[in-house]
């Protein structure tokens, strides 16, 4: 029993050691985007649909070639039968026959040509859908990554504030001990430290949650240990923000958006489908050729080779014309159905264009608003920093209360958070604007 208990403890320690030995994987922004592009299941589905569209074009090309078929039949006949050389016989007989035939469509209302053109447009649509899916993956990954960076910055602010509160607590303790400060200041500062510790805990939870969302976006092991690096630049993030012209942005979006290009390709495909439906009213002309032969042991005096390859060989060639007269109104219904589908697709395209204009306009307005917020938050940060430093000096010389100092510190921390959030909001809005413009076509995204 003791041996089993010892083995169990050893196994648990071994597992714990392996878990602790798990290395932390460091992932940069570009690596995160590449991982997400490789793992995203929706992007894989869009790629599969694109490959299927390519196979459809191959199938349409093959429709221009003749269809060829062959058959081999064998049988045994029992009963009376008539033969040319022996008359009526009552003996069982064996026979074998084979044939090969080819058929080609000469004219069917240009159905093959129109189907090929329609499939090509469908492939273009699938390519644009794949591109838009790729842009969406890049944008979502960059957004999740940006949220992680923001929470890292907010956690650092909270931790720095906690350290300042703890230092202030030590100072208040010393002042209370010598009697220069009332004991209520000590209690208030202890409460402030506890509040700041809670803020750190809350920011830690927010950071863990944002990391979990990013890991889910990357579709990697959620139990792994990951560290996400801040992009390298002079200030950590690029703050060289741009000035845009709304009308130019709208024109650019209408020209570049892959979803609009896909909708246009779908309309062209439906136009060809409508022509195919109308072509069903035309006659169909086909050509055919056949080659067949037969062997039977009833025919005496000729072996298999003589019969199958010489005497019983039949060749045929022919043409056929099929004229559609009446098919229970099915063809007219197909034409009307194709027209309706085309009209609906055109309406969807127009609605998509209006939606693109709305998205770009809203993103532009938000971007300019965030620029103003950043300017205001920067001024507020500088003012609150000076106010906190002034209150700190006044409190040290006894001309200010702890409440005034705590309020100044809280305002300074809030200003730091507001400024950091304003920077990240503006960066996010710029990426959102790029997404609405259809500019996230590459794998490189910079902050």
Mean pLDDT of all residues in 433-440: 91
- For 134-147, the pLDDT digits (tens) are 999 999 999 999 99
200 closest CA partner among 237, 236, 149, 165: 165
SS3 helix, strand, coil % of the chain, rounded to 5?
65, 15, 20
β strands within 36-127, DSSP E: 67-77, 81-83, 87-89, 93-107
| Partners of 83 in the β-ladder | 87
- Structurally, the chain folds into a number of domains equal to 1
- For 104-145, the pLDDT digits (tens) are 988 888 899 999 999 999 999 999 999 999 999 999 999 999
- Domain harbouring 349, CATH code: 1.20.1600.10
pLDDT of residue 395: 86
Which three-class secondary structure state does DSSP give residue 108?
coil
DSSP 445: -
Return the number of other C-beta atoms located less than 10 Å from residue 165's C-beta: 21
Pick the more confident residue, 295 or 267. Answer: 267
For residue 240, give Cα distances in angstroms to 233, 424, 430: 11, 13, 11
**pLDDT > 60? residue 20:** no
Mean pLDDT of all residues in 276-300: 87
Nearest-angstrom CA–CA distance, 211 and 227 = 9
Q: Which residue has the tokens 């959030």?
A: 421
- 348: containing domain: 109-282+329-447
CB 32 within 8 A of CB 141: yes
Angle at 353 between CA 350 and CA 359, to 5 degrees: 145
pLDDT > 90 in the chain, percent:
59
Note whether residue 362 is domain-resident. yes
The backbone torsions φ and ψ at residue 294, rounded to the nearest 5 degrees and listed phi first, read -150, 150
- 429: buried, middle or exposed (CB in 10 Å: 19+, 13-18, 0-12)? buried
Nearest-angstrom CA–CA distance, 167 and 81 = 117
**pLDDT > 50? residue 294:** yes
pLDDT of residue 147: 94
**pLDDT > 60? residue 160:** yes
pLDDT of residue 178: 86
Nearest-angstrom CA–CA distance, 20 and 89 = 93
Note whether residue 2 is domain-resident. no
Alpha helices in 26-110 (DSSP H): 29-39, 41-62
- For 188-202, the pLDDT digits (tens) are 999 999 999 999 999
DSSP structure string for 320-382: EEE----STTHHHHHHHHHHHHHHHHHHHHHHHHHHHHHHHHHHHHHHHHHHHHHHHHHHHHH
Mean pLDDT of all residues in 396-409: 86
Residue 266, token pair as written in the block: 């779908």
Note whether residue 64 is domain-resident. no
Note whether residue 272 is domain-resident. yes
DSSP 27: E
**pLDDT-based confidence at residue 400 (cuts at 50, 70, 90):** confident
**pLDDT-based confidence at residue 18 (cuts at 50, 70, 90):** very low
Mean pLDDT of all residues in 183-187: 90
Question: What residues contact 51, with CB distance under 8 A and at least 6 apart?
Answer: none
pLDDT of residue 331: 86
Q: Which of 90-94, 174-178, 248-252 has the lowest mean pLDDT?
A: 90-94
pLDDT > 70 in the chain, percent:
88
**pLDDT > 90? residue 240:** no
Nearest-angstrom CA–CA distance, 447 and 231 = 7
Residue 247, token pair as written in the block: 């009308």
| Partners of 293 in the β-ladder | 98
Note whether residue 61 is domain-resident. no
Element (H, E) at 430: helix 402-437
Quote the mean pLDDT of the chain: 86
- For 313-322, the pLDDT digits (tens) are 999 999 898 8
The backbone torsions φ and ψ at residue 242, rounded to the nearest 5 degrees and listed phi first, read -105, 160
Nearest-angstrom CA–CA distance, 363 and 200 = 33
**pLDDT-based confidence at residue 6 (cuts at 50, 70, 90):** very low
- For 49-97, the pLDDT digits (tens) are 999 999 999 999 988 889 999 999 988 777 666 565 666 666 677 889 9
Q: How far is CA 68 from the centre of its chain?
A: 42
**pLDDT > 50? residue 166:** yes
Instruction: Compute and round to an integer the Cα radius of gyration of the chain.
Output: 40
pLDDT of residue 8: 43
Sign of CA dihedral 151, 156, 161, 167: positive
Note whether residue 9 is domain-resident. no
Nearest-angstrom CA–CA distance, 202 and 14 = 33
Which three-class secondary structure state does DSSP give residue 26?
strand
pLDDT of residue 231: 75
**pLDDT > 90? residue 357:** yes
Note whether residue 319 is domain-resident. no
CB 94 within 8 A of CB 76: yes
Note whether residue 402 is domain-resident. yes
């Amino acid at each position: 029993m003791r041996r089993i208990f010892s083995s169990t403890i050893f196994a648990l320690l071994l597992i714990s050691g392996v878990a602790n030995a798990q290395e932390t994987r460091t992932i940069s922004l570009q690596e995160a985007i590449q991982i997400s592009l490789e793992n995203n299941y929706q992007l894989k589905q869009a790629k599969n649909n694109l490959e299927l569209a390519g196979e459809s074009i191959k199938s349409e090309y093959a429709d221009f070639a003749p269809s060829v078929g062959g058959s081999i039949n064998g049988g045994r006949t029992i009963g009376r039968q008539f033969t040319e050389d022996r008359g009526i016989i009552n003996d069982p007989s064996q026979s074998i026959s084979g044939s090969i035939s080819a058929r080609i469509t000469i004219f069917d209302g240009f159905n093959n040509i129109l189907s090929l053109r329609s499939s090509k447009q469908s492939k273009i649509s699938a390519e644009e859908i794949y591109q838009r899916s790729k842009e969406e993956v890049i944008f979502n990954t960059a957004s999740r990554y940006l949220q992680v960076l923001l929470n890292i910055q907010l956690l650092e602010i909270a931790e720095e504030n906690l350290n300042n509160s703890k230092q202030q607590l030590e100072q208040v303790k010393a002042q209370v001990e010598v009697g220069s400060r009332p004991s209520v200041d000590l209690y208030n500062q202890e409460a402030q430290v506890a509040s700041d510790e809670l803020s750190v805990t809350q920011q830690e939870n927010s950071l863990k949650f944002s990391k979990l969302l990013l890991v889910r976006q990357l579709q990697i092991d959620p139990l792994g240990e990951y560290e996400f690096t801040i992009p390298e630049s002079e200030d950590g993030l690029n703050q060289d923000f741009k000035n845009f012209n709304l009308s130019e942005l709208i024109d650019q979006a209408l020209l570049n958006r892959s979803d609009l290009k896909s909708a246009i390709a779908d309309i062209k495909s439906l136009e060809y489908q409508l022509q195919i439906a109308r072509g069903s009213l035309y006659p169909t002309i086909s050509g055919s050729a056949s080659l067949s032969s037969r062997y039977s042991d009833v025919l005496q005096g000729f072996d298999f080779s003589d019969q199958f390859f010489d005497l019983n060989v039949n060749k045929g060639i022919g043409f056929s014309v099929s004229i559609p007269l009446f098919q229970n109104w099915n063809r007219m219904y197909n034409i009307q159905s194709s027209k309706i589908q085309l009209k609906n697709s055109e309406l969807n395209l127009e609605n998509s264009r209006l939606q693109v204009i709305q998205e770009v306009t809203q993103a532009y307005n938000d971007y300019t608003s965030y620029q103003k917020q950043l300017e205001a938050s920067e001024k507020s940060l500088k003012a609150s920093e000076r106010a906190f430093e002034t209150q700190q000096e006044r409190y040290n010389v006894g001309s200010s209360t702890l409440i005034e100092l705590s309020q100044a510190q809280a305002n300074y921390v809030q200003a730091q958070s507001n400024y950091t959030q304003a920077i990240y909001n503006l960066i996010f809005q710029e990426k959102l604007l790029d997404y609405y413009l259809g500019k996230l076509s590459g794998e490189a995204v910079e902050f």
